């Protein structure tokens, strides 16, 4: 073979080899996830199933948040907008219509409204985006106690929120685990597809990508939709799991959860983010049993140390090849 041709082929071979190794890793992770989640429901332990359902919902939120960061290069501190909006809309529609299928409409509607908000906000620079999403999310948290509904002449909502009918835990567990597995598979396969390179090109350098003919605005819209709809479904499932929605669905603690869950995971590792979410939910629950809501001190400590942790992670990856 002509040595020049061979030289041109080499990077392509390396790329293909990397992709095929990543595919094997993905298949193993997917299988492990299915086995673990099936084993948990077979235990029949109510508390474990409930806690895992919560972890699954938070993992889905983290994955949807991670898509915006990995593909768009935008760190959002306002993913409570689709999450909380969907939770509220689901509860309100369930109360008004008393029809469970109405939640599907609320998930899509909340996801699309949030996607439009995120698309508009994504025109701001990256640092500004973090601040503005945080401010919009926090504003929603502060405004949410004003949401009131008159049912049978009685005002409900406000600080107390809305209570909805209970759905069996097994059903919620199956829906949330199927949803999380599908989300994990979709995002993993998407990042392995060559089309994701277009998104990554925009993430790395917007101006260069625009100069190369990539339609930046269209990609930003896709990212907003693909990230917000799953976050919205997570919010809807959260409402169903607790059978109750309150202003806490918009709280700062939920807003920072995906960020904290991703701090320890290796760059763009979706499985790492799922593990991070599970660990955080289980540790939070343990700390709660010792002292109510003391887990927020852990969140605070991780947030304070996050710049150092992230730098150490990059140091390991870039310098030591860890």
| Residues making contact with other proteins (CB under 8 A) | 75, 127, 130-131, 134-135, 138-139, 141-142, 252-253, 256, 259, 291, 293-294, 296-297, 299-308, 311
Could you tell me how far CA 151 lies from the centroid of its own chain?
33
Compute the least distance from the CB of residue 264 to other proteins, in Å.
Answer: 15
User: Three-class SS of residue 250?
Assistant: helix
Ordered alpha helix ranges (H), the chain: 3-43, 46-72, 80-97, 102-121, 126-143, 169-192, 196-204, 206-211, 216-242, 252-263, 270-290, 295-318
Compute the least distance from the CB of residue 131 to other proteins, in Å.
Answer: 6
d(CA 17, CA 189): 16
Compute the least distance from the CB of residue 124 to other proteins, in Å.
Answer: 11
For other proteins, the closer of residues 34 and 305 by Cβ is 305
Compute the least distance from the CB of residue 315 to other proteins, in Å.
Answer: 13
For other proteins, the closer of residues 35 and 146 by Cβ is 146
Q: Among 313, 307, 302, which residue's Cα sits nearest to residue 272?
A: 313
- Are 295 and 288 in contact by the 8 Å Cβ rule? The answer is yes
- Are 261 and 79 in contact by the 8 Å Cβ rule? The answer is no
For other proteins, the closer of residues 106 and 251 by Cβ is 251
- Are 266 and 120 in contact by the 8 Å Cβ rule? The answer is no
Compute the least distance from the CB of residue 312 to other proteins, in Å.
Answer: 12
Compute the least distance from the CB of residue 70 to other proteins, in Å.
Answer: 17
For other proteins, the closer of residues 31 and 303 by Cβ is 303
d(CA 250, CA 138): 7
For other proteins, the closer of residues 225 and 302 by Cβ is 302
Q: Among 104, 103, 73, which residue's Cα sits nearest to residue 227?
A: 73
For the purposes of burial, counting CB atoms within 10 Å of the CB of 308, is it exposed (0-12), middle (13-18) or buried (19 or more)? Answer: exposed
Compute the least distance from the CB of residue 308 to other proteins, in Å.
Answer: 5
For other proteins, the closer of residues 39 and 304 by Cβ is 304
For other proteins, the closer of residues 173 and 257 by Cβ is 257
């Amino acid at each position: 073979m002509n040595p020049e041709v061979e030289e041109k082929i080499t990077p392509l071979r390396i790329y293909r080899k990397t992709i095929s190794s990543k595919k094997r890793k993905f298949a193993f992770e997917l299988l492990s996830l299915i086995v673990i989640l099936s084993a948990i429901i077979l235990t029949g332990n109510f508390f474990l199933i409930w806690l895992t359902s919560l972890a699954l919902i938070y993992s889905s939120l983290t994955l949807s948040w991670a898509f915006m960061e990995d593909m768009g290069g935008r760190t959002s501190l306002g993913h409570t907008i689709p999450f909380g909006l969907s939770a509220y809309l689901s509860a309100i529609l369930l109360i008004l219509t008393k029809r469970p299928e109405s939640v599907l409409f609320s998930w899509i509607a909340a996801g699309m409204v949030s996607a439009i908000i995120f698309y508009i906000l994504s025109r701001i620079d990256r640092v500004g985006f973090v601040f503005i999403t945080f401010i919009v999310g926090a504003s929603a948290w502060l405004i949410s106690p004003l949401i009131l509904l008159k049912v049978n002449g009685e005002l409900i909502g406000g600080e107390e929120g809305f209570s909805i009918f209970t759905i069996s835990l097994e059903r919620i567990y199956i829906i949330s685990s199927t949803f999380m597995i599908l989300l994990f598979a979709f995002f993993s396969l998407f990042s392995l597809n060559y089309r994701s390179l277009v998104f990554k090109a925009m993430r790395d350098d917007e101006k260069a990508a625009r100069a190369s003919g990539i339609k930046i605005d269209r990609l930003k819209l896709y990212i907003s939709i693909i990230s917000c709809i799953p976050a919205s479904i997570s919010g809807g499932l959260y409402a169903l799991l607790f059978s109750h929605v309150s202003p806490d669905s918009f709280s700062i603690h939920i807003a920072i959860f995906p960020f904290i869950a991703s701090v320890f995971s290796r760059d763009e590792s979706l499985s790492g983010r799922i593990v991070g979410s599970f660990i955080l939910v289980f540790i939070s629950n343990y700390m709660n049993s010792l002292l109510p809501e003391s887990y927020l001190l852990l969140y605070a400590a991780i947030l304070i140390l996050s710049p150092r942790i992230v730098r150490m992670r990059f140091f390991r990856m870039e310098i030591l090849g860890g």
